[in-house]
Amino acid sequence: METSYLLHAEAGGGVSSPSPVIDSSDKVEIKKDFNSKNHVKARIIKDIFFKSTVILFAFLSLLPLIFILYYITKNGIAVINWEFLTQLPRPIGETGGGIFNAIMGTLMLIVLSSIFSIPFGISAGIYLSEKGEGKIAHIVRLCVVVLQGTPSIVIGIIVYIWVVAPFGGFSALSGGIALSIMMLPVIIKTTEETLKLMPYSLKEASLALGVPYYKTILKVILPTGLSGILTGILLSVARITGETAPLLFTAFGNQFMNYNILKPIDSLPYRIFYYAMSPYPEWHTFAWGASFILVVVVLGFNLIARGISIKWKVQF
């Protein structure tokens, strides 16, 4: 320490006219402090403190998920059996029954909303990644952001006005439309981001072979970005599987099995809502059971999406 002090003192002395604002001896003082043993120690302690705080908060933020999974598993798993998965709800007063109609309803809603949203979403994503800078692209991108931020219940009301009212009744179709509107922004964004990551040289390689532009996009660019696009679709499906609010105005819910897309249809979130609001203890346990299945389905979609994005990753 002593040597460094001297060195800096000499350096300070070497300057012919020390600046009047910063006293040269002050500078030396600071330098000395920086190299002192205590200062180093203090920095190490601050480092440890910072690291442990970050780790602590990371764990704390995981706690809600752990508790949710724990509670749902604890309360829900006891109800799950073959009957619960394959039977329809029984009328009030009878015990037993299951949520088969809700499981099938949710699957139908996923299929319907995917059919509606995937073609539009991927096309819009291609458009944005290809014509990225134009004024229209800018407006489209803004609309996607706004759509993503639109509360799901508002989408439900809009679809009620557009589809339910003209058709004269709640229907699976309207539910699928409401959910597909919620899927759109996720699919558009992920498609756009995935395709933007494609190197330009890939497109050049195809065009230089005389492949027309549309075939270059459909047969070279899209297949190369397939894993990213599929991941986006699965994430958007995971997002809408648990949506309840838009379904209240559209698919509504149905005690019975229904495969007609123009009739009301049941869904897992709606069934949970219905059972949990009821005064019967058995139905409360059914709500836990349905919640368990819903969480497993959503987690499943997320894990598959992860698997695809890792396994099918394209190397350039």
Partner 1 sequence: MESPVLKVDGFSAYFGDNQVLKDINLSISNNLVTALMGPSGCGKTTLIRCVNRMHELIPGTKVSGKMYLRGDDIYELEPILLRRKIGMVFQKPNPFPMMSIYDNVIAGYKLNGIRLGKDEMDRIVEQSLKESALWNEVKDALHRKGTFLSGGQQQRLCIARALAMNPEILLLDEPTSALDPKSTAHIEELIVELKKNVTMLLVTHNIAQAARVSDFTAFIYLGDLVEFGPTEKMFTVPRDKRTEEYLTGKFG
* Site residues (vs partner 1, CB under 8 A): 199, 201-202, 204-212, 215-216, 219-220, 223-224, 226, 314-316
Q: State in angstroms the smallest separation of the CB of 153 from partner 1.
A: 41
Q: State in angstroms the smallest separation of the CB of 313 from partner 1.
A: 10
CA distance 249 to 158: 9
Nearer to partner 1, 8 or 203 (CB): 203
Nearer to partner 1, 117 or 206 (CB): 206
Nearer to partner 1, 37 or 313 (CB): 313
Nearer to partner 1, 82 or 316 (CB): 316
Q: State in angstroms the smallest separation of the CB of 135 from partner 1.
A: 15
Q: State in angstroms the smallest separation of the CB of 311 from partner 1.
A: 13
Q: State in angstroms the smallest separation of the CB of 230 from partner 1.
A: 13
- Kindly give, in sequence order, each residue whose CB lies less than 8 Å from that of residue 234, ignoring residues fewer than 6 positions away: 301, 302, 304, 305, 308
CA distance 239 to 244: 11
In terms of Cα–Cα distance, which of 146, 106, 121 is closest to 243? 106
Nearer to partner 1, 82 or 200 (CB): 200
Q: Are 305 and 235 in contact (CB under 8 A)?
A: yes
Taking CA atoms, 13 is separated from 5, 6, 22, 27, 209, in Å, by 12, 10, 14, 12, 72
